[in-house]
Chains A and B, each alone.
Chain A
Amino acid sequence: MSMITVRDLRKAFGSDSVLEGVTFSVEKGETVAVIGPSGAGKSTMLRCLINLESADSGEIRIEDQPLLDNGKYPDEKARRKICSKMGMVFQNFNLFPHLTVLQNLVLPPVNAKKYTRPQAEEKACALLKKVGLEGKEQSRPSELSGGQKQRVAIARALMMEPDVLLFDEPTSALDPQLTGEVLAVIRELAREHMTMIVVTHEMGFAREAADKVLFMGDHVIIEEGTPEEIFYHPKDPRITEFVSKIL
């Protein structure tokens, strides 16, 4: 059983077609990098997986539960239940600015009655230590650097103990010298066999840390394969062109 199965996913904003039949699957423990030129539909595809956008047709199964079955969505309760297995990290962090770092981490699991407050605080402190932000518990998001904010966001997503983590361009809003500290955390998660889908423009990261690379262009997945296959032996000339421009 695959962790995520997507079949013939289609989505249009008005007359603008964004996804024109996207099909792929993600296995448990895999790190999948999604690369490709801007406007290819990478972010929209990711947002469809966690129900932030609704697709027009196709099929999405999360751990064999249908989030989208033949173009039809189940009721809200079922969607929430299915999506609760996934976490998401955004390009702009989306931390809650009025809460401290610790409160950002503690509030979601306490809301979901997953943990009591003391349990959540203990777990939060452990996760902050893991992402290298010990001692920042009482800071406000506005007092942190971009890289620190994104590491808090990753820790916050992990608080809900998701089976899958989705990253939507996690380093695109960061200064180049700050991307490294965020990528290091994601790499660490990959070593622990967290199932992840990472939409990224960091080719070095995709090449070294991903088990599988999906190349998206023109609203479909043009090719999927190992980093080796995509970066060094692509079959499609569009990939050759894209890779040569970037590497």
Chain B
Amino acid sequence: MEALQQFWDGLVSQLSYLGKLGINMLPGLQYTVGLFAVTVLLSIPLGLCLALLRNSRIRVVKGLTGFYVWIMRGTPLLLQLFFFYYGLTFIPVVGPYLTMGRFQAACVTFVLNYAAYFCEIFRGGILSVESGQYEAAQVLGFTKWQTNLKIVFPQMLKVSLPSVSNECITLVKDTALITAIGVTEILYFAKSAVNRDVDVSAYAIAAIIYLIMTYGLTKLFNWLEKKFHY
């Protein structure tokens, strides 16, 4: 009977500890969700523009965007994060003007990095649209922009959606990287709690928060894929 009481008390105190940890981490959510939202909202349109430039017939434009994509995909995101936060300041003359706050630097880095990935996803999507679609649009008097906007992009979107979904889920997890430049996001709080209490439960709580976010995204994209199916 006493053992049961002990077990019960232990369970309650453990649960209340975990609950407190979770609540304490919530302020970190604003940075995690904020970075995710900023990156998705800005890098997708930027990636789309890059994809159009990458498919351009002008060789210099095509080459330059190719180079950009190569740099952004070819180096670690963490390295880019350090570069934009710590590195830019040291550039002669313009350096002082390029100095950014932690979260600001994180946003810039993520937008530029993810735009390169979205560029390649959308480029593939655009290439998958049959040449007959362009021909039909031409003989029906569509302008170039009407063709892109009303014929090519919707078809590209359908093809690209599974890859975009994958990229967004990766993005949720990548937000944890900004703890390395001291942004107080979820993992930052988890790590402090682990160090303070010498108890790894905080990591489990952080993992659960990430899992809830990725689960929601998975459901959202499944719904979108159904909606765009034809």
Where the two chains meet, the residues of A that have a C-beta atom closer than 8 Å to any C-beta of B are: 50-52, 80, 83-84, 86-88, 90, 92, 94-98, 107-108, 111-112, 140, 142, 156-157, 160
Contact = CB atoms under 8 A, between A and B. Distances in A.
Nearest to A92: B132
A107 B150 contact: yes
A140 B141 contact: no
B136 A94 contact: yes
Contacts of B136: 90, 94-96
Contacts of B138: 51-52
A57 B34 CA distance: 60
A108 B142 CA distance: 7
B55 interface: no
B155 A94 contact: no
Which among B143, B150, B158 has the highest number of chain A CB atoms within 10 Å? Answer: B150
Interface residues of B, number: 18
A107 B142 CA distance: 9
Interface of B: 130, 132-133, 135-136, 138-143, 146, 150-151, 154-155, 158, 230
Given A97-B155, A97-B230, A140-B230, A90 B135 contact: yes
Contact of A94 (B135, B143, B150): B135
Contact of A50 (B139, B143, B155): B139
A52 B138 CA distance: 8
Nearest to A96: B151
A111 B150 contact: yes
A111 B158 CA distance: 23
The 10 closest A-B pairs by CB, nearest first: A94-B136, A108-B140, A94-B132, A88-B139, A98-B154, A112-B141, A111-B146, A140-B230, A84-B141, A98-B230
Contacts of B151: 96
Contacts of B146: 111
B57 to A, nearest CB: 14
